[in-house]
Chains A and B, each alone.
Chain A
Amino acid sequence: MQRFAFLLVAAFAMTVQAASAQTLKTVKERGTLICGVSQGLPGFSNPDDKANWTGLDVDLCRAIAAAIFDDPSKVKFVGLSAKDRFTALQSSQIDVLSRNSTWTSSRDTSLGLNFAGVNYYDGQGFMVRKALKVNSALELNNASVCTQTGTTTELNLADFFRNHKMKYEVTAFATADETVKAYDTNRCDVFTTDISQLYSEKLKLSNQNDHVILPEVISKEPLGPVVRHGDDQWFDIVKWTLFAMINAEELGVSQKTLAEALKSEKPDVRRLVGTEGNYGEQLGLTKDWVVRIVKHVGNYGESFERNVGTGSKLGIARGLNNLWNNGGIMYAPPIR
């Protein structure tokens, strides 16, 4: 009922507030950025026992706060379930949603929201118990599948089984934790969600080594930050914060090399760090906005390695998320 009440309040909040076009001003006056994240997904957005949030999605919000306030701690994180996340954004309870959300046409057009780029290229996969001796998702006929409601996964799952003329039974839970719990108690043969999330949820299972992630990737899941319609300046800030992190990695500007970058003679590096041109001011920020981002949060590659990469507990390879000139498809428009 709590969830219902939340949705209800949000739905009515939508009816009374006009689309606010001054998010940057509001955020500056408030002194903090309010960022919608998951309710705990290691690697992407997860609080520790001192309520310190870390993760790839969290880093993006910290980067926005760093660019605005020169202080990555000026963020208030709000944990949202998959079901409530867009309503929370529509009703202005958060300034930006950075919560492993898949960019789809219907979400982009009919929810009154804009996706501001992609910070993780993902796909949906399946996890099963090793004991079942299943090697491919095509052997899953008649399987019982657990998934989380309010995500794109339910539709992909239905499509996959319909495409391959296989039968299945789906049980959909409201939160990720409930889903994992049900899978762990053997309610289902299969747990399906985005592959990055499978790696992350696997850490929560009682016997991690008894489970295997199947090789099939059944969908395209470009995950990225989301903002409301009606404030193009704010849309630009979120979009270009992400692009700045990717560009910084491409130009070799990291937390370690920042001091050298500031003295660099290369024109594209000079534009990035603001020693040439006024690109930050065009966004409504300061000249040194990228310096602030890199100094406090690091570039995209650093954030990736720290949170989900091979150096982290999740140990996910860069794969598609590598830079375009390094075998992946991460590509940011240039700053100039």
Chain B
Amino acid sequence: MATQPDLLMPAPRVAMVNDPRIRGAVYQVLLLALVVWLGVEAYLNAQANLQAQRIATGFDFLENTAGFGVNQSLIAYRESDTYGRVFIVGLLNTLLVAVLGIAIATVLGFAIGIARLSSNWLVARLAGAYVEIIRNQPLLFQILFWYLAVLGAMPAPRQSIAIGVQPLLQGMADGLAALQRFGLPGAPADLCRALADWAGPPQVFLNNRGLVMPELTVGPGGSLIAATALAGLIAFVVLRIWAKRRQAATGKPFPLLWSGLGLIVGLPLVIFVALGAPVTLTPPVLRGFNFASGVRVIPEFVALLIALSTYTAAFIAEIVRAGIQAVPRGQTEAAYSLGLPRRRVLRFVVLPQAMRLIVPPLTSQYLNLTKNSSLAVGIGYPDLFAVFAGTALNQTGQAIEILAMTMAVYLLLSLITSALMNWYNARMAIPGG
């Protein structure tokens, strides 16, 4: 370190104490030691204090029986399961609303952002009004609005709104029958009625307990169908790589959309029909207060999902608009002068360049949506924060452990989202740029 032969001038001799690099290293080590010491001290102090007050500590409670019910669970859950399982149930509920919310918010946000730049006056103004109204209201208020206003408008289970073909056909039959008085032949009404009878009673119901649908049970052969779908997906990915290469080399496009649909949806459908449609639908049956069987989407989930996705979409729309407007006008004009139609200009010239500006702030919106999902506690949606940092915390009283776990989950979710988006952003960057 003292002498470096490739330098023309000999390095100035300095005492170790004055060498800026050594000094810097020493300071960093000292700072690190201080941080570690603070952490250890805080931990030991917490331990000692909790013990002195005889407050239970440790993670053993995760093995204990939770004993309380949760009204939405993606995995099997009963009251006799453990707090550890409650944690997973809450985590999955949070993930469900976050992933679906991000997907809907992205689609909606892009659509509105592009619509705001539309040359159609009405479309542009409507999109503008959406953004200004939605993003300027508190989110909790919007969640409560969707929950209480929409819930209040729904009927009780016994007066459920039936959704299906049969009520529609029945209504048409009644209408046509009424028209017979004015000389309409009876045949169309009879046909509608016959069709309605054939369709059977409706199996989807909407009421203030949520949306009730028939339960789908896949019989033997289900795994075969799933395997076909997976194989179709892999085949499509390979096909897509080949098609892109061919297009790059020869300029010939390949109908990717249709071949993709055929591989991923069509093929499993053929197998499904060949196996004789091995599914059974268990229709919801009204028993006592509520529908007893069937699958139910709870209103808390719907309200939270709508509120989170529409709210975040307003911000995404602005990000998309800013991104598109930042693409130099010359690019669009050049594309038009090549004779590209408007849609293609947007898809192949403007959006790819805009994405580089859109992705980083978009990541922040995704993170916000995930964290905002903890507002679910206001309307009783059983997310991680409500069931684990709520009920479980209260029953066990282990605030430090539970809050630490909850914080770790939100941190981890955010870091994973960030990492994915950064990877995507790197892919979108100008190669070598």
Chain A positions within 8 Å of B, measured between CB atoms, are 1, 3-4, 7-8, 10-11, 14-19, 82-83, 86-87, 90, 106-107, 109-112, 132, 140-144, 146, 149-151, 154-155, 157-159, 161-162, 167-174, 178-179, 181-182, 185-187, 189, 228-230
Contacts and interface: CB of A to CB of B under 8 A. Distances in A.
B18 to A, nearest CB: 40
A109 B54 contact: yes
A141 B292 CA distance: 10
24 contacts: A3-B377, A4-B385, A7-B389, A7-B399, A14-B49, A14-B50, A14-B55, A14-B400, A19-B49, A19-B52, A86-B397, A110-B396, A110-B397, A112-B54, A149-B390, A149-B394, A154-B69, A169-B71, A172-B387, A174-B378, A174-B386, A186-B151, A189-B289, A229-B54
B88 interface: no
Contacts of A112: 50, 53-55
A150 B397 contact: no
Given A158-B79, A170-B70, A228 B208 contact: no
A155 B400 contact: no
Contact of A178 (B69, B375, B379, B393): B379
Contacts of A171: 71, 298, 300, 380
A143 B403 contact: no
Interface in B157-192: none
B389 A15 contact: no
Q: Shortest 10 CB-CB distances between A and B: which pairs?
A: A112-B53, A15-B46, A112-B55, A110-B56, A150-B394, A154-B68, A111-B397, A142-B288, A158-B79, A173-B380
A62 B129 CA distance: 54
B379 A173 contact: yes
B394 A172 contact: no
A331 to B, nearest CB: 28
Contact of A162 (B49, B50, B79, B156): B79
Interface string B131-162: 00000000000000000100110001000000
Contacts of B80: 162
B209 A90 contact: no
Interface in B301-357: none
A15 B45 CA distance: 6
A111 B375 CA distance: 27
Nearest to B371: A1
B403 A186 contact: no
Contacts of B300: 171
Contacts of B54: 109-110, 112, 229
Nearest to B396: A110
A169 B380 contact: no
B46 A187 contact: no
B356 to A, nearest CB: 32
A187 B50 contact: no
A172 B391 contact: yes
Given A4-B374, A154-B391, A185-B148, A142 B380 contact: no
Q: Which of B67, B208, B209, B397 has the largest count of A CB atoms less than 10 A from its CB?
A: B397
